[in-house]
Structure 1
Amino acid sequence: MEIATIVSLAVLVLVIVTIAKTAQIVPQRSAYVVERLGKYTKTLDAGFHLLIPFVDRIAYRHTLKEEAIDVDRQACVTKDNIQVVVNGVIYLQVVDPKAASYGINDYRYAAMQLAQTTLRSVVGKIDLDKTFEERETINIQVVQALDEAARPWGVKVMRYEIADIELPATILDALEKQMRAERERRAVVAQSEGERQAKINVSEGQKQETINLSEAEKQRQINEAEGRARQIELIALATAEGLRQVAEAINTPGGKDAVGLRVAEQYVEEFGKLAKTNNTMILPAELTNIGSAVAAITKTMEQVNRP
């Protein structure tokens, strides 16, 4: 009984092992490399597969997903002989499981080492100031070099990203002083530009004020000149109208006598005013010849009115 039990257990174990080696389930986005008697025979994609027990074996298991691998910190020397410490992340993907299995022993380790050496070479061609500005350029150059080298390995390098760049303490202090000086310079420039603009604004305001005052004075003079011209015009029109009416009055019946009487009255009135304002009494040469003077004035007005 004991021997039969042992044999039964051995057979059961053998069956289980045979089934385990015969049936293989490959997960999604994975690939298994199968060797038959130590020689590559096929690559299993995702799904259920049957193998020949004790003849076929799974030699390599690869994931076809994109992998992110940290690249260790390393010291790099820039073109201007400044040592910086750089670390990054490389993203790669297996595209050919067979080449990834037999093309290189460990493609992950090889990719990290190649990324470090390529990064040192690229950084050595760039000055310190440009290492921060040209991160994208550095990443592209590293990816190009890695992708070309990893093609025989069945690996596609997707991208490389610089995670951090560490500078020596002395360089950091010098950069801090440089940035502080630059900020102070910008502050002084901004202040001087503000003062300059303020002076320009004041001078422009004074200029505009002077222009406005001169324009106002010019307009005032024009208005006064136009007013005086209008005044002279109105006076001339009124005088002409008065003379016309006087001339018409002379031609009416009794107009000459009325004009003579009016002239005589004004003659006497003005002579009386002259006597009041002067201490010396002035008498005309022919006091009795007032009538002849009036007649002369009347005759002159008739000639003016005659067409």
Structure 2
Amino acid sequence: MTPLVLLALFALFIVVLLSKTVRIVPQARAGIVERFGKYKTSLPAGLNILVPFIDKVRYMIDLREQVVSFPPQPVITEDNLVVSIDTVIYFQVTDPVAATYEIANYIQAVEQLTMTTLRNIVGGMDLEETLTSRDAINSRLRGVLDEATGKWGIRVNRVELKGIDPPPSIKDSMEKQMRADRDKRAAILTAEGQRQSAILTAEGAKQSAILNAEGDRESQILRAQAEREAQILRAQGEGQAIQTVFQAIHDGQPDQSLLAYQYLQMMPKIAEGDANKVWVIPSEITKALEGLGSSIHEVAGIPRDATPRTRVDMGSTEPLLPASQDPELASTSKAVEDAIAEARNAANPGKSIPGEAGTADSGTADPGISDPGAPTGQ
């Protein structure tokens, strides 16, 4: 049994010896080796051989970048307002020996240094500047920390202000100020919108009035032109009708019987007037009609057995333009006026028109016409 015990003890000793001799360091780590309580060397990552029972790995330092978030710290601003500021520090150990032997707890040291530096920086700013100058605070704080922690073997990469919380009363005042500012901007925008709307409405009304006035002017011009052309066409039509009737009278060669018949047809129309109180019928209607027909022929300038020596040229039956625009129309109108004047000059000026003698006023009758109530010669 004794050899077996000895063998077991020897195996155990070998295992312990190997554990004390061989040491594996993970990647991005550094081991601090002490020999008899004094710094001996730093173990790199990988397999390392130590002197058993003499060398000892005292600390294992993490060389990766570390992130530490510190709790909110009360800071007084220049305008005597207390704000709570949360900070986040990004740092990395560059010298494991200095981080181990130059300072006891570098995490706590960085926290206290951050708090004191932050109070110093923010103490020279008012609240509004503090809230709007985070980049400046981060830059100044990082510079101070990096300079102070350099001898500790620590490099501060970034410093961030995670939160700046003013007192509740200040928050309420800031919200009211922000709300008032937004209400002001909303009122300004509303007023500008109403102004632009009024300007556009006025410009639209102006353009509408101008267009309406131009439309009215154009319509009045067109109506005046249409009325003028209508009057010209009516005048041309009346002139054409007069020429046609005048030519028909010359071509038809009217006699006394026709004129007497026309007079008889006109007598009822003469009697239709309300002002005609007395209607006189000639006693000898045959002689009266013969004399009347003779008078009409003589007054009209139409001889009993004569025909017009010269036929009047009627011209085109199309509507004519005014005389000022058509020279042929002017000459034709002049010819018609000359013919009518000659016919009137040829008439006997001593005789009256039968139409005027056929109407009696206040019981007076023409000498050739007798009262229908009086006895005739027959």
* Cα distance in structure 1, aligned partners of 2:122 and 2:18: 55
Q: Extract unaligned runs of 5+ from structure 1.
A: 248-258, 280-307
Summarize deviations over 1:21-56 as a string: whole Å, max 9, x none.
Answer: 211111111111223344433322221111122232
Q: TM-score, normalised by structure 1?
A: 0.71
In the alignment, the residues of structure 2 paired with residue 50 and residue 230 of structure 1 have an alpha-carbon distance, to the nearest angstrom, of: 127
Residues in 2 aligned to 1:120 and 1:81: alpha-carbon distance in whole angstroms? 12
> Counterparts of 1:111-130 in structure 2 under 5 Å?
111-130=110-129
Aligned to 1:266: 340
Is 1:240 the counterpart of 2:327? The answer is: yes
How far apart, in 1, do the equivalents of 2:31 and 2:221 lie? 105
Indicate the residue corresponding to 1:45 in structure 2: 44
Change (3 A) 1:153 1:243: same
Q: Following superposition of structure 1 onto structure 2, how do residues 176-191 of structure 1 map, counting pairs within 5 Å?
A: 176-191=175-190
Q: Measure how far apart 1:210 and its partner are.
A: 2.7
Deviation at 1:245, TM superposition (A): 8.5
| CA distance in structure 2 between the partners assigned to 1:200 and 1:58 by the alignment | 86
**TM-superposed deviation, 1:217:** 5.0
**What residue ranges of structure 2 are gaps of 5+ in the alignment?**
233-320, 357-378
Q: Quick one: structure 1 residues 101 and 180, their matched pair in 2 at CA, closer, same or farther if it must change by over 3 Å?
A: same
Q: What does residue range 110-259 of structure 1 map to in structure 2 within 5 Å? A: 110-217=109-216, 235=322, 238-242=325-329
How many percent of aligned residue pairs carry the same amino acid?
Answer: 37
The aligned amino acid for 2:119 is R
Per-residue CA deviation, residues 126-154 of structure 1 (Å, 9 max, x unaligned), is 22123222223222221121112112222
CA RMSD of aligned residues (A): 3.7
User: Does structure 2 retain, via aligned residues, the 8 Å contact 1:71–1:115?
Assistant: no
- Seen in structure 2, the aligned counterparts of structure 1 residues 235 and 85 have a Cα distance that, compared at 3 Å, is same
Structure having the larger proportion of residues in helix: 1
Q: Relative to 1, partners in 2 of residues 1:186 and 1:263: Cα closer, same or farther, differing over 3 Å?
A: closer
Report if the CA contact (8 A) 1:96-1:155 is conserved: yes
Tell me which amino acid in the other structure corresponds to 1:239: D
CA distance in 1 between counterparts of 2:344 and 2:85 reads 119
Q: Residues 198, 15 of structure 1: CA spacing in aligned structure 2 closer, same or farther, 3 A cutoff?
A: same
Matches within 5 A, 1:71-110: 71-110=70-109
Q: CA deviation at 1:225?
A: 9.1
Judging changes above 3 Å, is the alpha-carbon distance between structure 1 residues 94 and 201 closer, same or farther for their aligned structure 2 residues? same
CA drift at 1:181: 2.6
Query: Secondary structure of 1:41's partner?
Result: strand
Whole-Å separation in 1 of the counterparts to 2:227 and 2:151: 106
Equivalences, count: 263
For residues 230 and 63 of structure 1, do their structure 2 counterparts lie closer, same or farther at Cα, with a shift above 3 Å needed? farther
The verdict on how the C-alpha distance between 1:5 and 1:109 changes in structure 2, with shifts beyond 3 A counting, is: farther
1:154-174 CA distance string (max 9 Å, x none): 212121222222222222232
**2: CA distance, partners of 1:68 / 1:216:** 81
Contact 2:323–2:330 (CA under 8 A) maintained in structure 1: no
CA contact (8 A) 2:86 2:162 kept: yes
Residue aligned with 1:21, SS: helix
Matches of 1:116 and 1:270 in 2, distance apart? 133
Residues 46-99 of structure 1 deviation map (CA, whole Å, 9 limit, x = unaligned): 211111222322122111221111212211011211011112221111122222
Amino acid at match of 1:18: L
Deviations 1:152-203 (A, max 9, x none): 2221212122222222222223223323333333333333333323222221
Q: CA deviation at 1:224?
A: 7.8
- What corresponds to 2:238 in structure 1? none
Distance 1:181 1:79 in 2: 25
Larger gyration radius, structure 1 or structure 2 = 2
Structure 1 counterpart SS, 2:27: coil
| TM-score where L is the length of structure 2 | 0.59
In 1, Cα distance between equivalents of 2:24 and 2:11? 22
- Measure the CA separation in 2 of the matches of 1:206 and 1:269: 66
Per the alignment, in what secondary structure is the counterpart of residue 72 of structure 1? strand
User: In terms of mean alpha carbon deviation, does 17-26 or 6-15 score higher?
Assistant: 6-15
CA distance in 2, matches of 1:147, 1:236: 112
* Residue-by-residue CA offset, 1:215-248 (whole Å, 9 max, x unaligned): 445656777899899999x64674224458899x
